[in-house]
Amino acid sequence: MVDDMKNIRRPALIALTAALAVGVSACGESDPAPGDGATTTSSAAQTSDETSAGETSSGATSETAPASSSGSDTWHTAIEAAEQEADGTAYEIDDQDDDETWEVDVAKGKTSSEVQIAADGTVRGEDDTDLDDDDRAGLAAAKITLVEAIEAALEEADGSLDDAELEEEGGKHFWQVTVDTADRTEVEVRVDVTSGTATVEPDDDNTDDD
């Protein structure tokens, strides 16, 4: 009798053990391991942050890209510095040494001050002389400034400023601006003192002598 009961219990225990094993296995498959969800969420958040950072960086780069420059404007700084130093009106500028150290002539009353200006706008020296009658008459006739005349000339002839001054021909005053081009040639531009119209003068070297 005892042997019969043992024989009955053994299959029952085996069946119960198998059922428990299947249940534990099913629970293991359905429930994620601790930390799996956090890892997935963290990875997604990191990817999103990296994408946003990349987009922001790209936008900032496009917005802050440096603008192209058409050339040096140290002549403009030199004129402003010379006019402030001599307290007058600039009517001539020259880069004699081609090193962007400028000599600027400034008129004040009957006096002309030649002011030497470094490339950074520093005043290096100043010499005073009497203002020439022709220059005085040219300044009286001029409706545009030296700066405006140079800007008009540089729009007409692509290059950098070499010198500019007041000139007179046949009783008519004008601004004479010399521009150094990229191929190292000089172009003379005449600028009307009243209208500001700029005209490139013919190159005498290329004129036929027929």
What average pLDDT does this structure show over 86-108?
91
Asked if residue 67 belongs to a domain, the reply is: no
What average pLDDT does this structure show over 109-116?
97
Q: Given pLDDT bands bounded at 50, 70 and 90, which one contains residue 10?
A: low
Q: What is the pLDDT of residue 198?
A: 98
**160, 185 in Cβ contact below 8 A?**
no
Across all residues in the chain, what is the average pLDDT? 75
CATH number where 92 lies: 3.10.450.40
What average pLDDT does this structure show over 67-88?
79
> From the centroid of its chain, how far is CA 210?
49
**pTM of structure:** 0.63
Asked if residue 64 belongs to a domain, the reply is: no
List pLDDT tens digits, range 182-195: 888 999 999 999 99
Q: Do 175 and 105 sit in the same domain of this protein?
A: yes
List pLDDT tens digits, range 50-65: 444 444 333 333 333 3
Q: Do 52 and 78 sit in the same domain of this protein?
A: no
Asked if residue 66 belongs to a domain, the reply is: no
Which residue range forms the structural domain that includes residue 46?
2-57
Q: What is the pLDDT of residue 64?
A: 31
Counting the structural domains of the chain, the total is 2
Separation of alpha carbons 199 and 156, rounded Å:
7
List pLDDT tens digits, range 20-46: 444 444 444 444 444 444 444 444 444
Q: Can you read off the two tokens belonging to residue 195?
A: 């209208």
Q: What is the pLDDT of residue 99?
A: 75
Q: What 3-state DSSP class applies to 71?
A: coil
**111, 81 in Cβ contact below 8 A?**
no
